[in-house]
Each structure stands twice: as C-alpha cells, then as structure tokens.
Amino acid sequence: MKGMLPVELKKNIDFDALKPLKDTYVDEELKESFSDLVYVTKYRGKTEIMITLLFEHKSRPVDYPHLQLLRYLLRLWEAGIKQKKGLTPVIPIIFYHGKEPWKEQRFEDYFEGIDNTLQPFIPSFDYLLNDLSRYSDEEITGRYTDIITRTALLIFKNIFDEASLQKKFPYIFYHTREIENSETGEKFFVATFTYLFNFVEKIDINTVTETIKTITEKGGDIAMTIAAQLEQKGRKEGAFKARRESVINFYKKSGYSADLIADYLGLDKKFVEKILKDAKLI
C-alpha cells in the first residue's frame, strides 16, 4: 500500500491501525477475475475507511472494470448496512501483472454523447491500478523497500517469460538472504517455490534450486525440499493412475466382481469398488 497510494492519501492513513477483515466480497461471478483482501483503518485519525486489494487472475485486462468494481462495492456496502455500520469510503487497488497493458479509463468515458446535463446520472468513482507491466525491474526495486513484497512483485512481473525469469533469479532473490533465518522468510520461501514449481511449466527445477542455493543457503534448502515433495507427489499420482487403469481394464476384459479383481491385483476391495463406481462401471 505504501508503494501504491498517492502521497495525499498516504500521509493521512494510519498504517499502524490497519486491520484485515476475514470476509471476502467477491461473488461467484467475480471469482473468475478477482480475489480480494480487505483492510479497515482510520483516515485523518477519525474517519473509518476500507482499503481493498483486488488481485486480477487473468493474463489480459478485464473489460469494463468499473462494472465489476461497482458490483463489488455494492456487496461491501450492503454488508455494512446489515451490520448497522452505515456506508464506509472504500479505496480499491487492483493488482495486475498480465501480458497486455491495462488501459485506464474513467467510468464516464465508456458512455458516448455525455454532456453536462447527462453527467449527474453517471456514477463517478475511481480505483488505483498496480499494473506491473508498466514498471521496469529497477523501478519496482526502488518503489518497494520491503524485501518480501519486492521479491514477490518481481516474480509476478516476469512470470510469463520463463527463460528471462530464471536468468533474473540472482537479481530477484539477491536480498532474500537477509530474511532467510526468520519465520516470515521461511514461510515466504515455501509459498514462493510451491507457486513457481507448480505454475511455471517450463521452469528447470534443478537449475532453480542450484541458483537459489548460491544466493541463500536456507532458501536453496527449502527449494530442494519443495522440489522433492512435488516429485514424490508426482510418483504417487502416477502410481494411482496406473492402478486405476489396471482395475478398469481388468473389469472391462473379465467382467469380474470387485472382490475378484482386488484378489487378482492385490488391492484393497474398497479401493477397487471406488474406482469402478467413479468410472460408472458398477
């Protein structure tokens, strides 16, 4: 937030009073595009405000983002009314790191032929945009001083160019050695490498772990552990798939009962029954 908010807002917001809310105000339709984090704090020491971080899931900009935001804001305000809190000012921050640049427009810009007489009938509200494609790696490094935030944003910015991402690891992870022995740092490494190894298809896990090891020994160890866990998970999934195919093929060729198939293949009867039921064979 400190790296995103305009100066006039930032100097009047009590960051020490920030409290996260457990609720989400993203409905089923919005879930395709956004997930949210909602915080409450004070503005100028007295006015309660909400700051919502909306994370855009797609790799291309949303069409008519004001419409999605308007639906989101209505849900949030309606919840406040039900809780007898009245209406609270909301600052929406959209976090986007897709391939295509996000084109910002005012809500009234979507309408044609608007003059001063029609203007009062058009809702007017705004949002803050964090479009990482607009910034260089150096600008992100200069804008965000927190090591975890900076490292995460550099990963998000480069996530769609796998080759470039891996080459930049020494730059991206350089300062993480400063947090490697903290609990927060350890959690960050676990989350980061789980994300990278699952999401980036062409990533070379061995190269990544070796590179990270030269930057931060603890981070390298965690990367290796995550890689080993994923490999073991892959073997288990492969073994399960093989057993499943064996059961289904055996049934189709023999027509034997689940009991007989379990005996022949040395498998648990309930396991065999579940596979055949899931395949709608019994």
What pLDDT score does 129 carry? 92
pLDDT > 70: what percent of the chain?
Answer: 100
The model's confidence at residue 30, banded by pLDDT at 50, 70 and 90, is confident
What pLDDT score does 243 carry? 85
The model's confidence at residue 140, banded by pLDDT at 50, 70 and 90, is very high
DSSP per residue, 93-161: EEEE--SSPP----GGGGSSS--TTTGGGS-----EEEEGGGS-HHHHHHH--SHHHHHHHHHHHHTT-
What pLDDT score does 9 carry? 92
Residues 137-149 as b/e (b if ≥16 CB within 10 A, e otherwise) read beebbeebeebbe
Sheet arrangement for strand 34-43? 19-21, 34-43, 47-56, 90-96, 128-131
What pLDDT score does 183 carry? 92
The answer to whether residue 148 scores a pLDDT higher than 80 is yes
Q: Can you tell me the distance from the alpha carbon of 254 to that of 257, in angstroms, rounded to the nearest whole number?
A: 9
Comparing 170-174, 184-188, 249-253, the range with the smallest average pLDDT is: 249-253
The model's confidence at residue 133, banded by pLDDT at 50, 70 and 90, is confident
What's the chain's Rg over C-alpha atoms?
25
Count of C-beta atoms within a 10 Å radius of residue 23: 10
The model's confidence at residue 208, banded by pLDDT at 50, 70 and 90, is confident
The answer to whether residue 266 scores a pLDDT higher than 90 is no
What pLDDT score does 234 carry? 73
Q: Which residues lie below 8 Å from residue 244, measured CB to CB, with a gap of 6+?
A: 275
Q: Can you tell me the distance from the alpha carbon of 112 to that of 64, in angstroms, rounded to the nearest whole number?
A: 14
Residue 86's alpha-carbon distances to 17, 40, 78, 211, in angstroms, are 20, 14, 9, 53
Angle (CA) 10-15-21 rounded to 5° is 115
The answer to whether residue 235 scores a pLDDT higher than 80 is no
Q: Can you tell me the distance from the alpha carbon of 74 to that of 264, in angstroms, rounded to the nearest whole number?
A: 61
What pLDDT score does 123 carry? 87
For CA atoms 57, 60, 61, 64, give the dihedral sign. Answer: negative
pTM passes above 0.85:
no
What pLDDT score does 137 carry? 93
The answer to whether residue 153 scores a pLDDT higher than 90 is yes
The secondary element (H helix, E strand) that includes residue 37 is strand 34-43
- Give the chain's mean pLDDT: 88
| 57-97 tens-digit pLDDT | 777 788 888 998 999 999 999 999 998 888 999 999 999 98
**Among candidate residues 228, 231, 212, 232, the one with its CA nearest the CA of residue 220:** 212
DSSP 61: P
Q: Can you tell me the distance from the alpha carbon of 54 to that of 93, in angstroms, rounded to the nearest whole number?
A: 6
The model's confidence at residue 47, banded by pLDDT at 50, 70 and 90, is very high
